[in-house]
Amino acid sequence: MNTLQINNLTKTYPNGVKALNGITLEITNGMFGLLGSNGAGKSSLMRTIASLQEPSSGSVLFNNIDVVKHPHEIRKQLGYLPQEFGVYPKISAEKLLNHLAVLKGIINHKERNAQVTALLQQVNLYQHRKKAVHTFSGGMRQRFGIAQALLANPQLIIVDEPTAGLDPEESNRFLNLLSEIGENVIVILSTHIVEDVKNLCPKMAILADGEIISQGNPTDLVKHIEGKIWTKIIPKKDVDSYQKTYDVISIKLVSGETQIRVWSEQQPEIGFEPIVPNLEDYYFATLYNHNNLKG
């Protein structure tokens, strides 16, 4: 069993932005979803765990090895798919993966070829192996990204917003691939897409303003708000007044009509229907409460 222990982690950038503010988490094998809106601190946390940047304070231990003190140790066991992969050199996918495998320390030629072939097959890019990655579609690039992250059998895999910008089919394909990677390693999926976490992750946390504001099993978390979420279709012009009167956790357009969801112990007023809440409602309700507490 692998264990990642994050203790009281903070990160303040030189420009004064406090991106992480006392993060404490323990993560073991399986898929862990890290949900948060833009700017919540997800990438800052991922980069710190991946030893690509140092925290301002606190510690990250992977199987009791201090990531900050021994970055080389962690990098040997890490597979990382960053949000932005940068520019790809104009060489074939196969050659690029081979090159990255050398950098990962797979020096035995035979072993390297075998791993590159197996990974290209696993991510369904074998038939495209002679094409350059910069000519790939977004989904193909992400699948290539996961192939490079899987080189050298990492025990800790970090994927940062991997489905952003993918169409639903490519996104599905990518997530299925991720879920196959195995129960025997830690996979941290950082995303703002609630559905992805709901479908894949038995454990999750919500990050906001650099803090963990909730964590647990998605199904258990949703139980906390059962019977407390109400919905109503309202005229668009009334949104403001409903927001002033009730705890409106989300506003959505449904078939061109404005639907609000409200957190309330009992029916807020005639016309509100109770709904069976989902993880998205939990996420919005948690963010709503957090922002309210902030004032």
Ligand X SMILES: Nc1ncnc2c1ncn2[C@@H]1O[C@H](COP(=O)(O)OP(=O)(O)OP(=O)(O)O)[C@@H](O)[C@H]1O
Assess contact for 171 and 162: CB atoms under 8 A. no
By CB under 6 A, name the one of 3, 8, 17, 241 that touches ligand X.
17
By CB under 6 A, name the one of 3, 28, 39, 105 that touches ligand X.
39
By CB under 6 A, name the one of 23, 27, 33, 44 that touches ligand X.
44
Number of chain positions touching ligand X (CB under 6 A): 13
Judged by CB under 6 A, the stretch of 12-20, 90-98, 215-223, 256-264 that binds ligand X is: 12-20
Judged by CB under 6 A, the stretch of 13-21, 228-236, 237-245, 283-291 that binds ligand X is: 13-21
Minimum CB–partner distance for residue 158 and ligand X (Å): 12
Which C-beta is closer to ligand X: that of 85 or that of 182?
Answer: 85
Site for ligand X, residues 142 to 201, rule: CB under 6 A: 192
Q: What does the per-residue mask of binding to ligand X show for 18-37, with x meaning CB under 6 A?
A: -x----------------x-
What distance lies between CA 176 and its chain's CA centroid?
15
Judged by CB under 6 A, the stretch of 10-18, 219-227, 241-249, 285-293 that binds ligand X is: 10-18
DSSP secondary structure of the chain: --EEEEEEEEEE-TTS-EEEEEEEEEEESEEEEEE--TTSSHHHHHHHHTTSS--SEEEEEETTEETTT-HHHHHHTEEEE-S---PPPSSBHHHHHHHHHHHTT---HHHHHHHHHHHHHHTT-GGGTTSBGGGS-HHHHHHHHHHHHTTT--SEEEEESTTTT--HHHHHHHHHHHHHS-SSSEEEEEES-HHHHHHH-SEEEEEETTEEEEEE-HHHHHHTTTT-EEEEEE-GGGHHHHHHHSEEEEEEEETTEEEEEEE-SS--STT-EE----HHHHHHHHHHHHHHHH-
Minimum CB–partner distance for residue 190 and ligand X (Å): 7
By the rule CB under 6 A, 127 interacts with ligand X: no
By the rule CB under 6 A, 38 interacts with ligand X: yes
By CB under 6 A, name the one of 9, 23, 33, 41 that touches ligand X.
41
Which C-beta is closer to ligand X: that of 33 or that of 36?
Answer: 36
Judged by CB under 6 A, the stretch of 41-49, 125-133, 215-223, 233-241 that binds ligand X is: 41-49
What residues line the site for ligand X (CB under 6 A)? 13, 15, 17, 19, 36, 38-44, 192
